[in-house]
Amino acid sequence: MGIRFKQKCSKCKQNYVTVSRGQRFPLCYDCQKPEMQGEIKDPKIKKLLDIPEEFYKKNSFLRNIKVSYFRYGSLTDKQIEAFKKTVKKLKEGDSKDNQPPEPVEQL
């Protein structure tokens, strides 16, 4: 996952955002929310971006991808791949948090 740390949102300067190194202007969910709304015309992208809102709240990378789509009207294959990977990690992380690991029975 790389190095992650919390930094104050560069816009409202109130909410903390979890960022990875090199992200200069982190924005919190509340500040990015208006930029993440709009009509998605590409059905493939629509399906891709249709993930639980929680994920967007938790992860600034996912927000940036969504914002990029609305800003540029498309996403590169690289962005799509990275988006999918991040969603997968979040899903795996979630199930780890919510369910204790099954005890392994040793014979």
Give the footprint of Zn ion on this chain (CB under 5 A): 9, 11-12, 15, 28, 31
Closest CB to Zn ion among residues 59, 75: 59
Residue 28 or 65 having the CB closest to Zn ion? 28
Closest CB 39 distance from Zn ion, rounded Å: 24
CA-to-CA separations, 62 to 38, 39, 42, 89, 106, in angstroms, rounded = 16, 17, 18, 12, 40
Measured from the CB atom, is 64 or 75 closer to Zn ion?
Answer: 64
- Cβ atoms of residues 28 and 39 within 8 Å: no
Q: At closest approach, how far in Å is the CB of 40 from Zn ion?
A: 24
Are the CB atoms for 93 and 54 separated by under 8 Å?
Answer: no
